[in-house]
Structure 1
Amino acid sequence: MCKRLEELRASIAIRYPSSFRVYRGSKLSREEVENLRVGALVATNDPITGISPSEGRQDQQQYILFEINVNLLETPDLVIADVSDESVAPQENEILFGLGTTFAVQQINYDDEHCVWHIELILSSEVNHINEQYKKYIHDRLQECDATMFFGNCLGDILGDYSAAMRFFHRQLRIKPIDDPYRPNTLYHLARVYRCMGLYSQAVNYFRRAMLLQRRRLPQSGYAYAQTISGLAMLYSETGRTKQSIDLQTKAVQIFRTYLSEDHVQMAIVYNRLAYVCYQEKQYERAQSLLSVTMSVLKNKGPLNYTGYATSLDLMGTVKWAIGMKHEAAEYLTDALKMRESFLTEEHPLVARTCYTLAKLYAEMPQGHSAAMSYALRALRIREAKLTKNHRELILSLDLVHQLTQNSFEADA
């Protein structure tokens, strides 16, 4: 379909002037509408066939009429096509935008008479710029590691399909020669998958096997060895062995510094991990300092929606919550959630993790029960679909939903 839209792109300049308007009806939650601001970027990928008016601005579901201003001269690279001739309803003069097309908000007004929001948009080329940044980032990373590992990481890190990632890396181990130079790296990535699945004993086994092979090849394998140490440290932090974790993360940082500059993306990622352990150890000031450095590096070095930046926002929100700054914490966590939703799938376990944290936070805030339950249920739904039945995070979500439900019953009584 995307290819066909690109083919039809040229014909739209013939049928339409360089500047014209199109309209689209949609439905958003009240929270999403309230978060819209002039200048913000939005993507509307869920068309609906019709609109029935809501009862007012307090309804949970709000109805939107988007008015989109198109200027073909200002956005020559964006894919837009008139599909009237291929539509079952040609009289509707239907126009489709390419997948991922992004718009900038120009005006926001509410029609009290008809209970409908009118939002004026213009096409934005900013996402094209982000895509170019991302292509460069991937190209640079491919110079540093085996490209096949990226496919396995995409299955787990981006799509959240840990079972598929596990099968992929096991297959790589079967087909690679015993002396293949990338075998230790495959063991490391398989260990990461098992850690994400909550299968910690298997993860420790593969981390240690990777470290054994990497130690034999020092100093040439020093970079990969530091990665594996950092990964094992993350496992220790998740299983409550924070003293061992902070020692290992500190060791990993020291090794990385012999290979990388302080503003390298990998340094930012390991600082994220170290910041999380500092948070666990209640070293909040150090955690905030590390996260500030990390966010600065990731903003300058990686694409803006790079997943590590979302992790930094999530952790900063968690730290702010720990020191009693709940409203600021909610802002960081909400930003982290939006970024994760834009970069990952909406059903990714990391999305669930941020939803869970927001649920816990709102549960402590006045009038926050409704938002807490909404986030808690979403986190539970994702974890039930993506995680094993005995996974620690699934159990935490079940307990939280039960607790919030119990609190609701007690409040009603």
Structure 2
Amino acid sequence: MFARKYYTDNPQQLAYISEFENTYDPSEVITWYTRNTFLYRMVNKALRTQDHLVVYAFRLFIRNLHMKLNLLQAENKSINSKLVLYRGQSLTKDDFEKLKSNIGGLLSVNTFLSTSEKKDIALLFTGGTIEDSDTEGILFEIDISTNEVSSASYANVDQFSAFQGTEREYLFSMGTVFRIKSIDKISGSAVWNIRLSLTNHTDAQLENLNLYMRQELQQCKTILSKFTNLMQQMNFPEKALHFYMKNSDIEKNPTIEDITLKYLIGDLCLHANNYEGALNCYQNVLEDMNENMQEKPMFICNLYNRIGNTYLELGNLDLAHEFHQRAFDLALSLPETNQGQIAANYIYQGDIVMEQNKMDEALIFYQKALALLIVHLPSTHSSIAHTYSRIAHVYRKQEKIEEALEMFEKSLSVLVDSSAANHPSISATHRHISTLLWILTRDEEALHHGLQALQIDANTLHLDDPQMKRRQDWVDFLRRDIHDHKCRLEENSHDWDQLSQFDM
């Protein structure tokens, strides 16, 4: 089992793993989750840290647990209109300050969340009453109106819990959203009381984006294909490749699914700057295409565009233009023109002319693409963000700094709503905004965005990564520059040439 390598030197947990392998039944999923075993630790840690390999390994258990909570919630309607639950835990001071600054806002929980009707039980988990320099003791108090419709999955699991009768335990499923009502110090204690209310909050933009992505994923036939496609969209190429390789070997007479997998491996190579490898995969797909594939013209459009992108990266602008034009012509010839595909081709043509330093032409292509994307995609789709970014780069090349800044800020706004918090695109956009603000002598704002980028990179890059040094050097430079500028208030401009040393 996947968990064995994590507990090689722990005989007790290895015994639990063997017991789980031999006796697990989905009807006992809550009992297994609430026991003090490897399951609780590994599942919640994986969900909290987005460890997708572990999430995938435990996907059936996670699904069983979620479905069991849904079932119990439907079966056991409370006779009381109000329910108050408690959860005790400690938080780092940084995390606590984020909550304090968000009173009235929303708190989303990406793990399963255990709570109790018993306040005294919950207080035992707050870390006591001793002041600590690094953490704060927290008692969450959750108010629930049981007669109101909620999108949250939660249920009283006491009869199934490994601690039956001792905690009056309620378990919330992943993705529960609460509203922060108030935060106050408990009198005579070092513990903070944070009052939450369960909300049926749904964000229309987020729902539209989720629907769009679900429709994209539904095109994949197997669970592995769905999972790997999702990893790719979330910008985890190495993990995506791991799951692709779990698929069955591609046979001599490949199916559409096999051909699609080879195409997606080409995407991974392209993402990793392995352009020759990407081109080889895409050309193999062209050779493998049979009559069934000819019935999927949008797949062929995408393939032509990928080949065009690869040739662009290899510096062969003529072949890049040829394949993008093939895709464009094919898209226009279809009975029902896919406006998203047309927009993509405008972007690709813009990329080509931008590479030729034809900025005015590039801007026209990008603006045409943006107009289509805004109409035909959810407003928080990442393609809109990346198009704003392309327009910003054109303005930057044209030295239209205010216009470039506006476009990068729009890009950042969309990315924050559509991407994981540590997504590299968010970091890159913060860096671009930081440099533009510095050029405009808005140094304090430049430092803020520089620090935001550095914090994201620190969570995704190794400390010895050369990029980390460049990011830290940029932040240090901004701090020195702010200090120096205060010493010479008459100066109101910066030397752009200084940017080259930071690879910005």
TM-score range, shorter chain: 0.5 to 0.7
SS in 2 for 1:198: coil
What residue is the counterpart of 1:315 in the other structure? 387
Distance in 2 separating the partners of 1:31 and 1:150: 37
Contact 2:411 2:429 in 1 (8 A): no
Corresponding position of 2:4: none
Secondary structure at 1:96 match in 2: strand
**In 2: Cα distance, 1:62 partner to 1:370 partner:** 26
Distance in 2 between the 1:51 and 1:319 partners?
Answer: 54
After TM superposition, give the deviation of residue 312 of structure 1 in Å.
1.5
Partner of 2:60: none
Pair 313,89 (structure 1): closer, same or farther in 2 beyond 3 Å? farther
Shift in Å at residue 99 of structure 1? 0.7
- Tell me what 2:443 maps to: 366
Contact 2:127–2:137 (CA<8 Å) still a contact in 1? no
Relative contact order: is structure 1 or structure 2 higher (C-alpha 8 Å, sep ≥ 6)? 1
**Of 147, 151, 156, the match for 1:73:** 147
Cα distance between partner residues in 2 of 1:32 and 1:277 = 44
Match of 1:376 among 427, 446, 454: 454
Instruction: Give 3-state SS (helix, strand or coil) of 1:102's partner.
Output: strand
- Residue 371 and residue 178 in structure 1: after superposition, are their counterparts in 2 closer, same or farther (change >3 A)? same
Residues 83 and 371 of structure 1: CA distance in aligned 2, closer, same or farther (over 3 Å): farther
State the Cα distance separating 1:245 from its structure 2 match.
4.3
Supply the distance in 2 between the matched residues of 1:116 and 1:108 (Cα, whole angstroms). Answer: 10
C-alpha separation in 2, matches of 1:37 and 1:260 = 52
Match of 1:227 in 2: 302
Superposition deviation, residue 314 in structure 1: 4.0
Q: Give the alignment's Cα RMSD to 1 decimal.
A: 5.0
Aligned counterpart for 1:19 among listed residues 72, 82, 86: 82
Give the CA deviation at 1:370: 4.2
Match of 1:249 among 324, 332, 337: 324
- Distance in 2 of aligned mates of 1:294 and 1:13: 44
Bigger radius of gyration among the two: 2
Q: Distance between the aligned counterparts of 1:271 and 1:65, measured in 2? A: 54
| Match 2:199 to one of 116, 123, 146 | 123
Aligned length: 382
Distance in 1 (alpha carbons) for counterparts of 2:482 and 2:346: 42
Shift, 1:78, TM fit? 2.9
1:150-161 maps to which residues of 2 (within 5 A)? 150-158=226-234, 160=236
Q: 1:70-93 deviations in whole A, cap 9, x for unaligned?
A: 233332553122456748697876
Where do residues 12-411 of structure 1 align in structure 2 (5 Å cutoff)?
Answer: 13-14=77-78, 17-22=80-85, 42-45=107-110, 49=126, 68-75=142-149, 78-83=152-157, 86=161, 95-103=170-178, 121-124=197-200, 126=202, 134=210, 138=214, 142=218, 146-147=221-222, 149-158=225-234, 160=236, 162-166=237-241, 168-169=243-244, 174-178=249-253, 180-214=255-289, 219-220=294-295, 222-238=297-313, 245=320, 248-259=323-334, 261-262=336-337, 282=359, 283-299=362-378, 309-317=381-389, 319-320=391-392, 322=396, 323-325=400-402, 326=405, 329-341=408-420, 351-363=423-435, 364=438, 365-367=442-444, 368-379=446-457, 381-384=459-462, 398-408=469-479
Question: Unmatched 5+ residue regions in structure 2?
Answer: 1-32, 34-64, 114-124, 485-504
Give, in angstroms, the shift of residue 189 of structure 1: 1.4
1:210-245 deviation line (CA, Å, top 9, x unaligned): 234449988546433221121123334556666754
**Secondary structure at 1:124 match in 2:** coil
Q: What residue number does 1:58 align with?
A: none
In the TM superposition, residue 400 of structure 1 has moved relative to its aligned partner by 3.6
- Secondary structure of the residue that 1:126 maps to in structure 2? coil
* Structure 1 unaligned blocks of 5 or more: 55-60
TM-score (norm 1): 0.68
